């Protein structure tokens, strides 16, 4: 399985990268960590004429914390996120999710930007972006724009990025104090893509949720922020209400049937994740079932 | 490890400083641990070219046209060869053996000529200066296919309206075997209870980490073909390559160095490998073929694709009165060569019910062609099916009559003092130990303790299960497997052992090494029997130019057969050395022994002459030897089992698992095996073979499945979608032993390589059904995926 | 014709310069261009771990890395880790426990195990299994490998105290 031939250009600056992308358009693929691109190249599923390697653009790497947001450079590697004290303190959801990405050797090279731009519907990080209400910072030759995560993921391997654009950073609003999170995925083996997963952020006051963002992944052609969450906010979360929310969830999700699971099974597992999430964020273990991954 | 036998007489196994029974580290592991092994894919020869095969994307299609012109013009391309062109160099073959009555198959070419019969079958070869360039050119080979009807459902393969893959054969039935022993109808009619189930087994494959690889080197000047290949049976490859390339065996040399896993995958003859041999001859240069992972999934033999209806008759007092099976298995469009794709089904018929005393057994097995990848023997051939069906039925019977699974086994396993005896299928058992093994495993796992824990946790809504699986295993086969059917597959093996001029020992053996420890067991035996330290013993294997002629390593025969040959040859060399020593020392050979690299006085142990000194005299100063003495410091002995066609072993496995009934996920908590494989040459190596085998069985139980769609497309031909067992999900595995040596050899060793795989899936399936018993659920299908569990529980 | 690209890197401490096609991956570069065949190819899609090497001190899949990406970097393969003696105790433990059979996964296993022990000197069995969860072995069933890593960790801790 040897990749088809391609040319290679190592970008020396962001501007240089953008010029290369502008020139080559759909004939080019951006190489960041390469952990998603390389398998596709080796299997000859991707056949770009040229790879634009942005791996040396150190200005795209790193975590910065401002008063109201955390900014993560697109080239920040998963291993760097795992080692970041700021991420651990401020965005524990992201840390937990990143720890589930594949295996150590992959995490040492893969980047958050590469992962998000690749937009595998079964990937953990896109769903985290929904739950965290993130904004993706995108640059073209003569422009910079910001796209809400909820608008960024548009289908299987499809995002709002144009062929001549680069994802340069991710801006995540600092969660309010007391925000809780929940992350779990059901996968056959450690490091596998999830059968279904949930990345959630919640705020609770006096046993009621004041905010709930449910970022599901592996539930369709893109990560999905469940509208069913609205049912659970500002009210007493009774078992009956949970059942109703699960029923709504089952109708709004349109998961695929594939070798790993049927659509019905994915809906079922999504419902379990909802229960487990509520049990965690409300400190009510009796709401939980199905603990194994 | 405990030995349950008593040795009355000091035998060759009780020699001083014996390595037999010792868990010594394998010699020569540094090479592998430093990354300095030599696997076929590491081999580079001058002018070596690389071959990539153009493979049919269709499961069944006529090759209407094939145009290599554009491909030939690509950079680095040396040749583009069609099936028709190659047929002039490599003759076709038919995978049948005469002792499998009625087995039929069609001729298969190294590269398909008129028609591709499975998705992935090679239709052309592109040879180029690198793999990458060959792949580029392969894309440019223009093939016009006319799709033909596909046969992909084994259940309807024999229906009249299903198209026949090989019309000249009449139907899609490759082989059928029927067996009727005892009084089966009467037994079922009279029994208190009859339980039936349909057992479904997902097709799966070996996934050796090193893919199949061959370097074929035709030296036109010598008119000789050297094949570097990780085969388990080099002499078989030599014979077949010679036969189909129109060469004499003397013109073919097969060399195996390091092999990155085989498990039976690399014991067969593959079309693309035969094509590689032929291309080397055509192009008069070395040609290298290394399958990539996708190719491996599509072309390495698959196995264990069965639907087996099983019935068991049982009385309320627990007596099992009869077994009956109707087994259907799906192979590829050709029976594999030369071992045939009927052996697995044949084994299933032979082995169902094997551990049990009932004489009433009926079996029908049918083997049907499919437009899917070819199938053949893969570790534990047929045993996993037979064990899963047998042990599944026994547990179902126990459940029906309200008996504990241990109790029903105690009631029905063949008694340990009942040997020798035979099974209803005609298997002759020399001496097995089902009850001793059962006792042992119950103690090892603290069965009562686990039952108590299971009960306690069930009250908390946690569902754990215990599953047992008794099994018998075929090892040390004589000619009964293949030779009797006309295959040129040797069932004997030989060892040549030599004392070198420096006093070191070199042993050449015809068995082969794939990591199980063939080299180590040979060195341990030779060192022990001869009286030399292991660090002085060098073992040569895997070279038809340099070893005795033999079968190689497969069907768990290396230790039992190759080990015995090593033992016997070392005995002879020892005697030869003592004759010389006696002459030098003016003593009698009977008063001498060899211990710790020296000839010693047998009674006092006094060192009389070092072996290296004796060797110096023999090789360089024979003028100092008594007149008439012609020393011979080399000995060769071969061994073939003669009394029993197979040396049966027995064992039992137990699985302790937890089912999450909300998600359907199964967690493997722990696993136990008690194995009786006779004399243990190196207990650690045996235990590790068992562990590795168990995990292959656990993979089958939960994860592995070659998923074909109805068009015959293998939809998960990569390691992300085909799930192999990884460290995160596997349990610790405890291994114990009972020891019942075979009296057929002095060594007393039987085989152990496949035991782990034989019973692991059966134990897990029984454990899952045990866990789900309170839900009234029984699942008789593997792999036991969460989807299957949730469906059975009615959750989805 | 796509131009070859000049790269300069160190491999096991030795400076190496080469002209490579962009599509050449690091595993093939090490094996075919440098003859360092201890890095094995098992899947070419990053799943089996057989090709694991160290790149600037971090374990990576050589099949998912282009040779051109290694320009300016330090690559360490199993040959280098062996010759330096860095993993001698781990290799001894593997030998004594028979934590390898065919040896094909072993270079990747050793490098990954060493990576774990450098980060976490006293891992429990579950942590060892988790860190090695991306390295496929078909021969051993993993139990012996876990034992060997565990015993090495214990011995290193004892030596350190």
**pLDDT at residue B2 greater than cutoff 50:** no
In this complex, which of C68, C115, C134 lies closest to A102 when CB atoms are compared? C134
> What's the confidence (pLDDT) of residue B6?
38
**pLDDT at residue B8 greater than cutoff 80:** no
Q: Which CATH class is domain B11-38+492-639?
A: alpha beta
What CATH number matches the domain at A180-287, 2.102.10.10, 3.60.110.10, 3.50.50.60, 3.30.390.50?
3.30.390.50
Q: Which CATH class is domain B302-479+643-792?
A: alpha beta
**How far, in whole angstroms, is CA B635 from its chain's centroid?**
30
CATH code for residues A7-53: 3.30.43.10
**pLDDT at residue A290 greater than cutoff 90:** no
Please tell me the distance in Å from A102's CA to the nearest CA on chain B. Answer: 11
> What's the confidence (pLDDT) of residue B5?
39
Q: Indicate the number of domains in chain C.
A: 2
Domain limits, chain A? 7-53, 58-173, 180-287
Q: Are residues C19 and C73 in the same domain?
A: yes
Please tell me the distance in Å from A34's CA to the nearest CA on chain C. Answer: 7
B663 inside 8 A of chain C by CB: no
Assigned CATH topology for domain B43-148+210-260+265-299: Aldehyde Oxidoreductase; domain 3 (3.90.1170)
Cα separations in angstroms, C18 against A56, B133, C10, C11, C54: 20, 19, 11, 12, 19
Q: Are residues C101 and C123 in the same domain?
A: yes
Q: Are residues C102 and C77 in the same domain?
A: no
Q: Are residues C50 and C115 in the same domain?
A: no
**DSSP per position, B319-369:** -EEEEEEEEEEE--SS--BTT-TTHHHHHHHHHTTTTB----EEEEEEEE-
CB contact under 8 A, C68 and A8: yes
Q: Which of A7, A48, A103 to mutate to test the interface with C (most CBs of C within 10 A)?
A: A103
**Mean pLDDT of all residues in B137-144:** 98
Query: Which of C26, C59, C81 marks a domain boundary?
Result: C81
**pLDDT at residue B711 greater than cutoff 60:** yes
Dihedral of CA atoms B641, B643, B646, B648 in degrees, nearest 10, equals -120
Q: Are residues C71 and C98 in the same domain?
A: no
CA-wise closest residue to B21 among B44, B4, B39, B3: B3
Please tell me the distance in Å from C119's CA to the nearest CA on chain A. Answer: 12
**Mean pLDDT of all residues in A278-288:** 94
- The neighbour count for residue B451, using CB atoms within 10 Å, is 15
CA distance B740 to B679: 7
pLDDT tens-place string over residues A224-259: 999 999 999 999 999 999 999 999 999 999 999 999
CB contact under 8 A, A290 and B728: no
Residue with tokens 């799709």: B147
B37 inside 8 A of chain C by CB: yes
In this complex, which of B660, B707, B721 lies closest to A292 when CB atoms are compared? B660
Phi then psi for B356, rounded to 5 degrees? -105, 160
In this complex, which of C95, C104, C129 lies closest to B727 when CB atoms are compared? C129
Residues A38, A6 contacting (CB under 8 angstroms) = no
Q: Are residues C131 and C98 in the same domain?
A: yes
**pLDDT at residue B502 greater than cutoff 80:** yes
Please tell me the distance in Å from C68's CA to the nearest CA on chain A. Answer: 9
**pLDDT at residue B604 greater than cutoff 80:** yes
Per DSSP, the three-state class of B543 is strand
Q: Are residues C62 and C13 in the same domain?
A: yes
Q: Are residues C20 and C69 in the same domain?
A: yes
CB contact under 8 A, C138 and B35: no
CA-wise closest residue to B294 among B513, B138, B82, B86: B138
pLDDT tens-place string over residues B569-592: 999 999 999 999 999 999 999 999
> What's the confidence (pLDDT) of residue B363?
98
Q: Which of B717, B726, B754, B757 to mutate to test the interface with C (most CBs of C within 10 A)?
A: B726
In this prediction, residue B3 has a pLDDT band, given cuts at 50, 70 and 90, of very low
CA distance A113 to A136: 9
Residues B204, B706 contacting (CB under 8 angstroms) = yes
CA-wise closest residue to C146 among C118, C123, C121, C119: C123
Assigned CATH topology for domain A58-173: 3.30.465
Find the closest chain B residue to C141 by CA distance.
B692
Residues B252, B225 contacting (CB under 8 angstroms) = yes
CATH number at residue C104: 1.10.150.120
Q: Who's near B470: CB < 8 A, 6+ residues apart?
A: B355, B387, B391, B409, B413, B434, B437, B438, B650, B651, B652, B759
Q: Are residues C27 and C13 in the same domain?
A: yes
Query: Which of C23, C51, C81 marks a domain boundary?
Result: C81
**Mean pLDDT of all residues in B121-138:** 98
**pLDDT at residue B362 greater than cutoff 90:** yes
**Mean pLDDT of all residues in B221-245:** 97
Q: Are residues C16 and C30 in the same domain?
A: yes
Query: Which of C28, C57, C81 marks a domain boundary?
Result: C81
In this complex, which of A188, A190, A290 lies closest to B662 when CB atoms are compared? A290
> What's the confidence (pLDDT) of residue B732?
98
CA distance C113 to B674: 30
In this prediction, residue A291 has a pLDDT band, given cuts at 50, 70 and 90, of low
Q: Are residues C105 and C153 in the same domain?
A: yes
pTM for this model (two decimals) = 0.97
Whole-number percent of chain B with pLDDT over 70: 99
Provide residues of A within 8 Å CB-CB of chain B: 1-5, 43-44, 186, 188-193, 195, 259-262, 264-265, 268-269, 272, 289-293
In this prediction, residue B10 has a pLDDT band, given cuts at 50, 70 and 90, of low
Whole-number percent of chain B with pLDDT over 90: 93
β-sheet bridge partners, residue B325 = B310, B363
- For C:69-98, CB contacts with B below 8 A are 77-79, 82-83, 91, 94-98
C4 inside 8 A of chain B by CB: no
Q: Which of C2, C139, C150 to mutate to test the interface with B (most CBs of B within 10 A)?
A: C139
Provide residues of A within 8 Å CB-CB of chain C: 1-8, 10, 31, 34-35, 38-39, 41-43, 51, 53, 55, 79, 102-106, 108-109, 189-191
Same fold, B11-38+492-639 and B302-479+643-792: yes
Burial of B400 (0-12, 13-18, 19+ CB in 10 A): middle
In this prediction, residue B484 has a pLDDT band, given cuts at 50, 70 and 90, of confident
CA distance A21 to A17: 6
Chains near C with 3+ CB pairs less than 8 A apart are A, B
- Taking all residues of chain B, what is their mean pLDDT, rounded to a whole number? 96
Q: Which of C55, C69, C77, C126 to mutate to test the interface with A (most CBs of A within 10 A)?
A: C69
Domain limits, chain B? 11-38+492-639, 43-148+210-260+265-299, 302-479+643-792
Q: Are residues C27 and C91 in the same domain?
A: no
- For B:169-208, CB contacts with C below 8 A are 206-208
pLDDT tens-place string over residues B531-571: 999 999 999 999 999 999 999 999 888 999 999 999 999 99
Please tell me the distance in Å from B131's CA to the nearest CA on chain A. Answer: 7
End-to-end CA distance of chain A, in Å? 32
**pLDDT at residue B141 greater than cutoff 70:** yes
**Mean pLDDT of all residues in B62-67:** 98
Find the closest chain C residue to A50 by CA distance.
C22
**pLDDT at residue B514 greater than cutoff 80:** yes
The H-or-E segment that residue C54 falls in is strand C52-55
| Structural domain of C143 | 87-160
pLDDT tens-place string over residues B312-357: 999 999 999 999 999 999 999 999 999 999 999 999 999 999 999 9
> What's the confidence (pLDDT) of residue B557?
87
- Nearest-5° Cα angle at A198, A192 to A201: 140
| List of chain C residues with pLDDT < 50 | none
Q: Who's near C66: CB < 8 A, 6+ residues apart?
A: A8, A31, A34, A38, A51, C22, C23, C24, C25, C26
- Residue numbers in B near C133 (CB within 8 A): 726-728
């Amino acid at each position: 399985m040897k990749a088809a031939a391609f040319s290679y250009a190592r970008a020396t600056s962001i501007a240089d990268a953008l010029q290369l992308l502008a020139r080559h358009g759909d004939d080019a693929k951006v190489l960041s960590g390469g952990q998603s691109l390389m398998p596709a190249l080796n299997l000859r599923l991707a056949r770009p004429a040229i790879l634009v390697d942005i791996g040396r653009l150190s200005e795209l790497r790193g975590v910065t914390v401002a008063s109201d947001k955390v900014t993560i450079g697109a080239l920040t590697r998963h291993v760097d996120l795992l080692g970041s004290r700021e991420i651990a303190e401020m965005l524990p959801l992201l840390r937990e999710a990143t720890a589930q990405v594949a295996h150590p050797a992959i995490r040492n090279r893969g980047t958050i930007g590469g992962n998000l731009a690749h937009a595998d519907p079964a990937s953990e990080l896109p769903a985290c972006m929904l739950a965290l209400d993130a904004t993706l910072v995108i640059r073209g030759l003569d422009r910079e724009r910001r796209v809400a995560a909820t608008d960024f993921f548009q289908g299987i391997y499809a995002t709002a990025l144009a062929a001549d654009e680069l994802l340069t950073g991710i801006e995540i609003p600092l969660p309010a104090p007391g925000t809780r999170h929940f992350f779990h995925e059901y996968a056959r083996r450690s490091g596998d893509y999830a059968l279904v997963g949930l990345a959630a952020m919640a705020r609770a006051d006096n046993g009621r949720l004041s905010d709930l963002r449910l970022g599901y992944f592996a539930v369709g052609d893109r990560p999905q922020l469940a509208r069913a969450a609205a049912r659970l906010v500002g009210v007493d979360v009774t078992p009956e209400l949970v059942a109703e929310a699960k029923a709504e969830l089952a109708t709004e999700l349109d998961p695929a049937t594939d070798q790993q699971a049927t659509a019905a099974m994915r809906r079922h597992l999504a419902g379990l994740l909802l229960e487990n999430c509520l049990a965690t964020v409300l400190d009510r273990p009796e709401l939980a079932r199905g603990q194994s991954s | 490890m405990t030995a349950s036998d008593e040795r009355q007489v000091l035998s060759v196994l009780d020699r001083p400083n014996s390595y037999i029974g010792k868990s010594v580290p394998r010699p020569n592991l540094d090479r592998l641990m430093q990354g300095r092994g030599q696997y076929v894919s590491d081999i580079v020869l001058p002018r070596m070219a690389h071959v990539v095969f153009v493979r049919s994307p269709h499961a069944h299609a006529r090759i209407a046209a094939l145009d290599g012109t554009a491909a030939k013009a690509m950079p680095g391309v040396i040749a583009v060869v069609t099936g028709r062109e190659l047929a002039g160099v490599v003759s076709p073959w038919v995978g049948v053996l005469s002792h499998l009555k009625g087995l039929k198959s069609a001729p298969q070419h190294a590269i398909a000529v008129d028609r591709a019969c499975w998705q992935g079958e090679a239709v052309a070869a592109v040879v180029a200066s690198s793999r990458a360039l060959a792949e580029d050119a392969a894309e440019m080979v223009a093939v016009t296919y006319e799709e033909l009807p596909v046969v992909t459902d084994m259940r309807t393969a024999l229906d009249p309206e299903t198209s026949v893959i090989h019309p000249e054969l009449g139907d899609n039935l490759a082989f059928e075997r029927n067996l009727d022993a005892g009084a089966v109808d009467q037994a079922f009619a009279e029994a208190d209870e009859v339980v039936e189930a349909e057992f479904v087994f997902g097709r799966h494959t070996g996934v050796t980490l090193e893919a199949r690889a061959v370097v074929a080197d035709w030296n036109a000047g010598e008119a000789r073909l050297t094949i570097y290949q990780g085969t388990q049976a080099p002499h078989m490859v030599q014979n077949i390559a010679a036969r189909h390339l129109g060469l004499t065996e003397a013109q073919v040399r097969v060399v195996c160095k390091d092999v990155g896993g085989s498990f039976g995958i690399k014991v067969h003859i593959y079309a693309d490998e035969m094509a590689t041999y032929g291309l080397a001859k055509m192009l008069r240069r070395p040609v290298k073929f290394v399958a990539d992972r996708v190719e491996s999934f599509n072309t390495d033999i698959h196995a264990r694709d069965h639907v087996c209806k099983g019935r068991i008759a049982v009385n309320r007092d627990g007596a099992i009165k009869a077994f009956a099976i109707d087994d259907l298995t799906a192979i590829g469009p050709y029976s594999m060569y030369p071992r045939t794709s009927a052996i697995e089904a044949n084994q299933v018929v032979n082995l169902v019910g094997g551990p049990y005393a009932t004489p009433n057994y009926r079996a029908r097995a049918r083997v049907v062609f499919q437009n899917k990848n070819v199938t053949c023997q893969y570790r534990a051939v047929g045993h996993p099916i037979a064990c899963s069906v047998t042990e599944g039925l026994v547990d179902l019977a126990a459940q029906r009559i309200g008996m504990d699974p241990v109790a029903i086994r105690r009631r029905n396993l063949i008694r340990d003092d009942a040997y020798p005896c035979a099974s209803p299928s005609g298997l002759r058992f020399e001496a097995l130990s089902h009850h001793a093994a059962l006792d042992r495993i119950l103690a090892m796992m603290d069965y009562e303790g686990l039952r108590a824990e299971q009960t306690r946790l069930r009250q908390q809504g946690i569902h754990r299960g215990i599953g047992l699986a008794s099994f018998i295993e075929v090892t040390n086969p004589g000619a009964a497997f293949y030779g009797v059917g006309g295959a040129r597959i040797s069932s004997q093996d030989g060892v040549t052992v030599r004392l070198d001029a420096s006093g070191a020992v070199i042993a050449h053996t015809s068995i082969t090494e794939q990591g199980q420890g063939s080299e180590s067991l040979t060195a341990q035996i030779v060192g022990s029997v001869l009286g030399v330290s292991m660090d002085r013993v060098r073992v040569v294997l895997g070279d038809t130019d340099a070893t005795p002629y033999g079968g190689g390593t497969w069907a768990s025969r290396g230790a039992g057969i190759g080990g015995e040959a090593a033992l016997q040859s070392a005995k002879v060399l020892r005697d030869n050395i003592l004759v010389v020593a006696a002459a030098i020392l003016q003593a009698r050979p009977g008063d001498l022994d060899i211990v710790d690299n020296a000839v010693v006085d047998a009674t006092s142990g006094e060192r009389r002459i070092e072996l290296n000194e004796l060797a110096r005299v023999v090789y360089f100063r024979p003028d100092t030897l008594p007149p008439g003495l012609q020393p011979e410091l080399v000995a060769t002995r071969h061994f073939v089992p003669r009394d029993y066609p197979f040396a049966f072993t027995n064992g039992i496995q137990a699985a302790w698992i937890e089912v999450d009934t909300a998600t359907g996920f199964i967690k493997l908590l722990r696993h136990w095996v008690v194995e009786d494989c006779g004399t243990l040459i190196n207990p650690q190596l045996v235990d590790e073979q068992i562990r590795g085998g168990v995990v292959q069985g656990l993979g089958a139980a939960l994860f592995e499945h070659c998923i074909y769609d109805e068009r015959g497309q293998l939809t998960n031909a990569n390691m992300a979608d085909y799930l192999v067992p990884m460290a995160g999900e596997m349990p610790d595995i405890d291994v114990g032993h009972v020891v019942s040596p075979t009296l057929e050899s002095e060594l007393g060793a039987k085989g152990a390589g496949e035991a782990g795989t034989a019973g692991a899936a059966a134990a897990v399936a029984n454990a899952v059904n045990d866990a789900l018993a309170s839900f009234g659920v029984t699942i008789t299908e593997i792999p036991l995926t969460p989807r299957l569990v949730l469906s059975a529980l009615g959750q989805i | 014709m796509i131009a070859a690209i000049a790269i300069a890197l160190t491999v096991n401490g030795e400076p190496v310069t080469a002209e490579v096609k962009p599509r050449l991956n690091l595993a093939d570069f090490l094996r075919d261009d440098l003859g360092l065949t201890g890095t094995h190819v098992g899947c070419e899609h990053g799943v089996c771990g057989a090709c694991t090497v160290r790149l600037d001190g971090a374990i990576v899949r050589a099949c998912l890395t282009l040779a051109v990406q290694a320009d300016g970097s330090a690559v360490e393969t199993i040959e280098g880790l062996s010759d330096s003696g860095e993993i001698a105790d781990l290799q001894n433990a593997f030998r004594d426990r028979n934590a390898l059979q065919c040896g094909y996964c072993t270079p990747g296993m050793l490098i990954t195990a060493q990576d774990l022990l450098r980060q976490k000197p006293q891992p429990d069995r579950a942590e060892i299994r988790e860190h090695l969860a991306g390295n496929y072995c078909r021969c051993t069933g993993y139990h012996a490998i876990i034992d060997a890593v565990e015993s090495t960790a214990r011995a290193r801790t004892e030596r350190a105290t």
